[in-house]
Amino acid sequence: MQSLIEFFEKETNKKINMFKYNNEKITSNQNLIEFNNTTYVIEFLKDSILNHVNGHCYLFNQQNLDFDSLKNILNNLYEDVQIYNYNNYLLLVSDDILDIDCSTPTIIESETYSKTYIIYLEKITNIDNLDFKINITNELIDIIINDSNTSKFITLNDLIMYKVTSIASNNKQISSLIKYDIIKNIDKNLLTTGINFIENDLNISKTSNMLFLHRNTLIYRLEKIKEYLNLDLKNFKDAFIFYLSVKSFLNFMNNYNS
């Protein structure tokens, strides 16, 4: 499908959206074509998204994007949304914030059998801002996918954190200030526990329930982190330094091993 879209974009010199025809009403910027005994809708994007994007935008990322299947699933889940094949993502635009959260990728994966990441770009009113946020996402998508601790629902705040840790791991001056030599020798379970504790709002009960750990085991691990790194994760500043240090370290190691 993607190669067919690229062919028509080259022939028409216009950005297009393309999907199987299901007897829906055809608008003025759409045309029908036959290909391999299947009818498709070609939708020229100039009059739809490129000039008139205005709404809450969600990017759906799958390694091998099956746009038609994913679009059908989302149309069954949500009403009054616009869906586009845009820059190798499925882009969903809605006038209102949708009930999309950390559980949504699991629902989609049960239908598509493909690992799914959703990036919520918040409300966007012009194409330049959309493309800017997509470019940032493109820079970070490999880091997001390689982060085994991450949720598959990514907010704009998450993108900021990923961008900051990416800068830290690639900046020699910042990297030289981080205790990589100590972090690399710490048991990964301790590091993962610390990250989850921070992502669960520094809440002992919430984190222990999520990790299926006894409360005392969690407290013991936090004390070991304090012993190794002199960072008390119940303190905001120490928690921030730990989060930045460990995330940038893991990003550095992923880049090193790739």
pLDDT of 1 > 90? The answer is no
Closest CA to 70 of 99, 105, 101, 35: 105
Sequence-separated (6 or more) residues with CB below 8 Å from residue 65: 2, 85, 88, 89, 90
Lowest mean pLDDT of 26-35, 85-94, 231-240, name the range: 26-35
The amino acid at residue 45 is L
pLDDT of 80 > 50? The answer is yes
Residues 186 and 175: their CA atoms lie apart, in Å, by: 17
Lowest mean pLDDT of 43-57, 80-94, 226-240, name the range: 43-57
State the average pLDDT over residues 14-20.
77
Say what the pLDDT of residue 31 is: 83
State the average pLDDT over residues 45-58.
71
Closest CA to 124 of 43, 52, 74: 52
Encode pLDDT of 128-166 as tens digits.
Answer: 899 999 999 999 999 899 887 778 999 999 999 999 988
Contact status, residue 114 vs residue 147, Cβ threshold 8 Å: no
Residues 8 and 6: their CA atoms lie apart, in Å, by: 6
Residues 7 and 4: their CA atoms lie apart, in Å, by: 5
pLDDT of 52 > 60? The answer is yes
Residues 31 and 25: their CA atoms lie apart, in Å, by: 11
Encode pLDDT of 91-131 as tens digits.
Answer: 999 999 999 999 999 999 999 999 999 999 999 998 889 99
**Percentage of the chain exceeding pLDDT 90:** 56
Residues 115 and 211: their CA atoms lie apart, in Å, by: 22
30-35: strand order across its sheet? 16-20, 38-44, 30-35
Say what the pLDDT of residue 47 is: 45
Encode pLDDT of 197-253 as tens digits.
Answer: 999 999 999 999 999 999 999 999 999 999 999 999 999 999 999 999 998 888 777
- Pull the structure tokens for residue 110: 């049960």
Report strand pairing: 153-154 vs 116-124: parallel
Mean of the per-residue pLDDT values for the chain? Answer: 88
Token pair 């799914």 is found at: 116
Residues 235 and 229: their CA atoms lie apart, in Å, by: 13
Report strand pairing: 30-35 vs 55-62: unpaired
- Please give the domain boundaries of the chain with CATH numbers for all domains: 1-47 (no CATH), 52-154 (3.30.70), 163-257 (1.10.10.2840)
